[in-house]
Amino acid sequence: MVRYAEPGTVEWVESGGGPLIAVPETVLPFWTGADGEETASDYDRACEVDGLVGLLPVGDATALVLGDEPAATAFLPEHGTLVRWIAGDSEADLLASVPAALRTASWGPEVTWKVPGTVVLFDAAWPGTRSTTADHVSLTLTAGHYGVRTAQVQPGPETWLVLVRLRPLA
């Protein structure tokens, strides 16, 4: 796969052209990706998500689909945010713009995501059993409910990104 994000400060996950998905580690074996034997595979279900994020049932849990564009994505735990690199000259410039982008973002509606713990972010086309052998990143999250909100921001003339904020709910 051609990589668009530079290796560097953070770990970026990319897809082959479709959505990325964050599946709870506990239910990875239930995600079949594009290998499903039914009429509509799990990958097909992920592709049907309309908008920047959506939730899909997987086993007895729920996965978070990152829809819209197949952008390189990194998790910044210090901000509790997934950053999707739409355009930018360099990783350093893009990451430097995140704090200001978070302060000025116009956030979309919040959805609630119940997380049993660590989730794995990877290309939705991959089966969950093979996700950790492909381009992926593990997000260490505390079990509980999270408010998920998105924002499309342009923090600089040549920098565009999508923010996906994961806010623990009390």
Distance, in Å, from the CA atom of 119 to the CA atom of 63, rounded to the nearest integer, reads 8
- State the Cα angle at 110 between 59 and 168, rounded to 5°: 70
**Rounded to the nearest 5°, which phi and psi values hold at 112?**
-105, 130
Q: Report d(CA 22, CA 82) in Å as an integer.
A: 11
| pLDDT-flagged residues of the chain (< 70) | 1-8, 36-39
- Would you say residue 140 lies in a domain? yes
The verdict on pTM exceeding 0.85 is: yes
Q: What's the confidence (pLDDT) of residue 8?
A: 63
Examine residue 4 and state whether it is found in any structural domain, yes or no. no
Structural domain containing residue 141 = 20-168
Domains of the chain: total: 1
11 within domain boundaries: no
The helix, strand and coil proportions of the chain, stated in percent and rounded to the nearest 5, come to 20, 40, 40
Residues with Cβ < 8 Å from 49, sequence gap 6 or more? 19, 56, 65, 67
Within a domain: residue 15?
no
Q: Tell me whether residue 50 is in a domain.
A: yes
Residue 103 belongs to some domain of the structure: yes
What pLDDT was estimated at residue 36? Answer: 62
Helix, strand or coil, per DSSP, at residue 78: coil
Q: State the distance between the two ends of the chain, measured CA to CA, in whole angstroms.
A: 40
Residue 125 lies in a domain: yes
